[in-house]
């Protein structure tokens, strides 16, 4: 028998759909927001802190919504509070307070499992596109080492996509 006869079957097996049919049904989407933060938590002359917020969602079989936050700054080990805020003419409105994160190695990081109806993907995207989404952080207990703040913009955004087998 010719080895060419096995090529179509091999391609199907490599695609993963036969071995893992569930991979073909669920969908994923993500929103990555970035920006810089300045404030009294930074030493004079030091560069701004860099922040990244990512919302990852899935549906149709495997369901989750995870919001991840990262702030890169020398003040990271001292960060005690991080909030995602909507910027309004009346002042900022807190949308979410992150749990205590890990600030080792100069990057603070934390994840939040979101309920299905909280912080809708589209709302976060619209707020970021319109310049009305920001992050606020305190360094030290009750901000005694300083504060950081900055606006978020959309770095990347995907619609619902199948991870494989499209």
Strand, coil or helix: 113: strand
- Give dist(CA 40, CA 145) in Å, integer: 8
Residue 60's pLDDT band (cuts 50, 70, 90): confident
Q: Give a yes or no: residue 10 inside a domain.
A: no
Q: Give a yes or no: residue 152 inside a domain.
A: yes
Q: Give a yes or no: residue 72 inside a domain.
A: yes
Q: Give a yes or no: residue 166 inside a domain.
A: no
For the chain, what is the domain count? 1
Q: Give a yes or no: residue 7 inside a domain.
A: no
Domain with 147 in it: 27-157
**What pLDDT digit, counting tens, does each position of 110-133 carry?**
999 998 788 899 999 999 999 999
Q: Give a yes or no: residue 94 inside a domain.
A: yes
Q: Give a yes or no: residue 12 inside a domain.
A: no
- Give dist(CA 2, CA 8) in Å, integer: 13
The tokens of 18 are what? 């036969």
Q: Give a yes or no: residue 14 inside a domain.
A: no
């Amino acid at each position: 028998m010719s080895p060419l006869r096995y090529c179509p079957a091999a391609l199907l097996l490599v695609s993963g759909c036969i071995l893992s049919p569930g991979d073909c049904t669920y969908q994923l989407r993500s929103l990555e927001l970035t920006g810089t933060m300045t404030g009294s938590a930074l030493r004079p002359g030091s560069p701004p802190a860099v922040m990244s917020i990512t919302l990852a969602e899935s549906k149709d079989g495997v369901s989750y919504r995870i919001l991840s936050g990262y702030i890169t700054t020398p003040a990271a080990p001292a960060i005690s509070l991080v909030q995602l805020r909507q910027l309004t003419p009346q002042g900022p409105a807190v949308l979410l307070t992150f749990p205590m994160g890990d600030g080792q190695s100069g990057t603070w990081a934390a994840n939040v499992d979101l309920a299905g109806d909280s912080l809708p993907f589209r709302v976060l995207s619209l707020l970021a596109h319109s310049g009305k989404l920001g992050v606020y952080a305190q360094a030290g207990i009750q901000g005694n080492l300083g504060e950081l703040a900055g606006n978020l913009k959309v770095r990347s955004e995907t619609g619902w996509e199948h991870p494989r087998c499209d």
